[in-house]
Amino acid sequence: MSAPIVHDPRGFALPDSQRAIIRWTIYLGFSALAIGVINGLGQALNYAGVDILRFFPGMRTYYQGLTVHGVFNALVFTFSFSNGFLLLTTARGLGRKCNDALLAAMFVTLVLGGLLASFAMFTGRASVLFTFYPPLQAHWTYYLGLALAVVSTWITSATQLVMLRGWRGENPGARVPLLAFLSIATYVMWDIASVGIAVEVVFFLLPWSLGLISGVDPLFSRTLFWFTGHPIVYFWLLPIYVSWYAMVPKQAGGKLFSDTYARVVFLMFIVLSIPVGFHHQFTDPGISNQWKFAHAVLTFAVFFPSLATAFSVMYALEMGARRRGGRGLAAWFLKVPWTDPSLCAQILAMFAFMLGGITGLMNASFNMNQVVHNTAFIPGHFHLTVGTAVALSAMGIAYWLVPYLTNRKLWSERVAVVQGWLYFVGVLIFSRGMISGGLMGMPRRTLIVAAPYHKPDWNLAAALSGVGGTLMFISAMMCFFVLAMTALLGEKTEPGDLPLTETIEGPPATGWTVGLDRLRYSVAAVLFLIALAYGPFLLHHLPPKLQSPGYTFF
């Protein structure tokens, strides 16, 4: 027997004021992405031997530009997009409104955080990159700004949990609708994951930048950072998976094959995303090899929920394409509705993500990491993942989301389809350059044009990075243009609904899967794994050795 799946028993309409806040949160995200990619162009051209950064207003050094690029793209854009998009999907899934005060607080903290960090970065007081490794030191406004941005995500999570509690009160014993479940699980994972960075910033970096404590412990800070810094990549990715599971099947004309499968994948992310941070610290001294190896093994485990996602999404795409007359072992792929710009961008993003996943496994392999760590290979990997799987999918989602939030038609479907392809071609060229350069030792985080050890062998790789990055930049600008034209001049339409998939196998009303909705079991499991994966290091290392003064080189 299947439980009734009632996404939305009373019809769904958020009050205009709440829709407006969500709309502006999404706009904030894409504006941040725009600022970030302008600086990204500067980075890509640097590899190709062209230094355009000096023409950018206020940009004094390469590291200042790289910090702006990383913070705006990887933090401000992603947080804004996740907060806005997943509040909407939670509200829609549960058929409830958000709490007004919490929603407003989310937006205010996000804007304030963004402004404070921007002040520090644009005035040259925080050229410490988005990883802000001590002993590099930034102005306190940078740390406070980032902390506030994280607080905005916690407020988002609280808003979801308040909605969930209200819904449970009215629907005792019912299964949580899938759309809401996936959205809430994403933030529960992040609530636990973000504790590392919160402790690092609030107890160490902020007091240190204010002169309240005289030193920090670089190794301990890095460990706290990567406690959060790995799972943050899934906090970027899971909102996209919400779309790939709950919306893409519908857009492709297919169905999601199993509700339980999707839930289990998200629960696996809660359990496995966090205890893997040492795979960013394989070369750090002070952490024993066997615990690094344990994190490497767990990293292979967290590969599986993404692999599972690939199968589920592929099934939905094939089902849709066969319904549209697709045939053969692979030729059905041509019958996917490629003219839908939203779907097209997301499928191209998936294709890039397959390459991102493979390079991720290479990074995670304990010994292979020695070859690629700190080389351009790593930006090659993460422009396929966060830079495409996430960013290009978000652009694709925006192609229905902005029309939905403004009650307007997308300004030009054709330009939007071309945009997706251009980005895809751009990132393939870009990452081909970065990856091959990295394998030849081309470093990351370096102003290559000025490096005295620049090798001629890197020339082709570097030129490809420059060309690919330029195409990605042009494409991103096309996306912003389409979105702006839609919001300002798009043809008015009647209010519509989100593209929500049907499920072949709905959530059973009885049996063990009912317990999946209780996130506390997964939370207990991850706390246990964290204790196991980080406990021995902490026991050995604590108390922190607060000895390093701050340095500001740039």
CB 389 within 8 A of CB 349: yes
- Nearest distance, CB of residue 268 and ligand HAS, angstroms: 11
Return the number of the residue (162 or 362) whose C-beta is nearest ligand HAS: 362
- Nearest distance, CB of residue 218 and ligand HAS, angstroms: 15
Which residue in the list 139, 222, 230, 279 is annotated as catalytic? 230
Q: Any idea which residue has 């640097």 for tokens?
A: 46
CA dist 153 and 96 (Å) reads 19
Instruction: Choose among ligand HAS, Cu ion, none what residue 431 binds, the Cβ cut-off being 5 to 8 Å by kind.
Output: none
In the residue annotation, 444 being an active-site residue is answered as yes
For helices 413-439 and 459-489, give the axis angle rounded to 10 degrees. Answer: 160
- Nearest distance, CB of residue 225 and ligand HAS, angstroms: 10
In the residue annotation, 263 being an active-site residue is answered as no
- Nearest distance, CB of residue 288 and Cu ion, angstroms: 19
Tell me the number of residues near Cu ion by CB under 5 A.
1
Instruction: Choose among Cu ion, ligand HAS, none what residue 342 binds, the Cβ cut-off being 5 to 8 Å by kind.
Output: none
Instruction: Choose among Cu ion, ligand HAS, none what residue 357 binds, the Cβ cut-off being 5 to 8 Å by kind.
Output: ligand HAS
In the residue annotation, 445 being an active-site residue is answered as yes
Residues in the site for ligand HAS, rule: CB under 6 A?
A: 131, 233, 236-237, 279-280, 299, 302-303, 306-307, 309-310, 313-314, 347, 350-351, 353-354, 357, 360-361, 363-364, 369, 373, 378, 381-382, 385-386, 390
By CB under 5 A, the residues from 178 to 217 that bind Cu ion are none
CA dist 243 and 74 (Å) reads 19
- Nearest distance, CB of residue 50 and ligand HAS, angstroms: 23
- Closest residue to Cu ion, judged by C-beta, is 230
Return the number of the residue (220 or 245) whose C-beta is nearest ligand HAS: 245
Question: Measuring CA to CA, how many Å separate 471 from each of 370, 437, 458, 547?
Answer: 31, 19, 20, 45
In the residue annotation, 381 being an active-site residue is answered as yes
Residue type, 107: F
Question: Is cis: bond before 249, omega within 30 of 0?
Answer: no
Question: Measuring CA to CA, how many Å separate 342 from each of 402, 407, 441, 461?
Answer: 11, 17, 37, 31
Contacts of 223 (CB under 8 A, 6+ apart): 196, 277, 281, 287, 534, 537, 541
Instruction: Choose among ligand HAS, Cu ion, none what residue 153 binds, the Cβ cut-off being 5 to 8 Å by kind.
Output: none
In the residue annotation, 295 being an active-site residue is answered as no
In the residue annotation, 382 being an active-site residue is answered as yes
**Per-residue x/- track, 216-245, Cu ion (CB under 5 A):** --------------x---------------
Which residue in the list 444, 473, 534, 537 is annotated as catalytic? 444
- How many whole angstroms from its chain centre is CA 359? 17
The candidate with the shortest Cα–Cα distance to 90, out of 14, 192, 171, is 14
Which residue in the list 125, 280, 383, 408 is annotated as catalytic? 383
- Nearest distance, CB of residue 44 and Cu ion, angstroms: 23
Which residue in the list 60, 445, 454, 541 is annotated as catalytic? 445
CA-CA-CA-CA torsion for 398, 72, 238, 92, nearest 10 degrees?
Answer: -50
CB 392 within 8 A of CB 351: no
Instruction: Choose among Cu ion, ligand HAS, none what residue 306 binds, the Cβ cut-off being 5 to 8 Å by kind.
Output: ligand HAS
Return the number of the residue (167 or 291) whose C-beta is nearest ligand HAS: 291
Return the number of the residue (249 or 360) whose C-beta is nearest ligand HAS: 360
Which residue in the list 27, 72, 278, 382 is annotated as catalytic? 382
In the residue annotation, 322 being an active-site residue is answered as no
Question: Is cis: bond before 543, omega within 30 of 0?
Answer: yes
Instruction: Choose among ligand HAS, Cu ion, none what residue 353 binds, the Cβ cut-off being 5 to 8 Å by kind.
Output: ligand HAS
For helices 16-47 and 62-70, give the axis angle rounded to 10 degrees. Answer: 150
Residue type, 44: A
- Number of DSSP helices (H) and strands (E) in the chain, helices first: 20, 2
CA dist 494 and 83 (Å) reads 25
- Nearest distance, CB of residue 265 and ligand HAS, angstroms: 10
Longest dimension (CA), the chain: 70
CA dist 273 and 232 (Å) reads 9
The candidate with the shortest Cα–Cα distance to 179, out of 521, 403, 515, 502, is 502
Residues involved in catalysis: 230, 234, 381-383, 444-445
Q: Which residues bind Cu ion (CB under 5 A)?
A: 230
